[in-house]
Amino acid sequence: MLLSAHFQGFCRDLCTEAAQLIASRVRPTLRLLIQQQFTAHRKLDHGNPTHDHLKEDFKRFGLALDLAADPANVPRLQALTALNRWRNVAAHHGTIPAGAPPLDLPSLRTWWNACDGLATSLDAILYNHLRRVLRRAPW
Amino acid sequence: MATKKASRPFQVGDRVKILGFVGWRGRIVEERGRLGPGGMLVYRVRIPHKPKPTYIELCEDQLVALPAPCKVPPSPVADRPAPSKQEGE
């Protein structure tokens, strides 16, 4: 649960940072409206950091997020799905789904590394996108 | 060695108004950290719109603190000692 929460926190912070950066480039009277649009109904505020939720939230930046485009991310996304499934089992006292990977130390390490890799990938994708849009290095 | 804490202009629970938007008042529900441009603090603010409240993330330079609402003065009967309970009731 903690690992999933940390990854969710990272993605949410990245989303906020990018939104604030874009909002700072518009005139003050429009700034609040832009900020509101970036925050409204954000999936990462309530839901798990799934690939679909990440896609939906980062679509607001005009970004068709496809983490699976990088072959290294394919197993990471599978690990993220497994992590979120186990997170839901733990949080909602659910039953262990059939065919789920075991919850042991090697699995946790795999998920940890997968989250690290996805975070790095997500950061790089957004950095390049914002640099293109803003015509300068975002951070 | 004690380190000096950086001053935080707002705290969770503070009532604020939003600069440049008359009538927009809210309450800080979360400090998001230094995620604004140039490391500015960002706060998540709850605006009590009807029928559902709105949540917006705003930089510290967009917020102005509002004074806390006056509390209702304590009732004069509040000072009276509570009647002692009798055993066996």
**ipTM of the prediction:** 0.82
pTM for this structure? 0.82
Contact (Cβ atoms closer than 8 angstroms) between residue A21 and residue A35: no
Residue B37 lies in a domain: yes
Number of domains in chain B: 1
**Average pLDDT taken over every residue of chain B:** 82
The alpha-carbon gap from B88 to the nearest alpha carbon of chain A, in Å, equals 45
For residues B7, B13, B15, B17, the Cα torsion angle rounded to the nearest 10 degrees is 70
pLDDT, tens digit (0-9, with 9 covering 90-100), for A26-85 = 998 899 999 999 988 899 998 899 999 999 999 999 988 888 889 999 999 999 999 998
Residue A139 lies in a domain: no
Residue from the list A21, A40, A45 with its beta carbon closest to the beta carbon of B37:
A21
Residue B47 lies in a domain: yes
C-beta atoms of B20 and A36 within 8 A: no
Q: What is the mean pLDDT of residues B78-88?
A: 60
Residue B1 lies in a domain: no
Contact (Cβ atoms closer than 8 angstroms) between residue A86 and residue A100: yes
Residue A101 lies in a domain: yes
**Residue A118 is encoded by which pair of tokens?**
């996805």
**Residue A5 is encoded by which pair of tokens?**
């929460």
A26 and chain B in contact, CB less than 8 A: no
Residue B31 lies in a domain: yes
Number of domains in chain A: 1
Distance CA A127, CA A133 (A): 10
Q: Can you give the length of chain B in residues?
A: 89
C-beta atoms of A16 and B35 within 8 A: yes
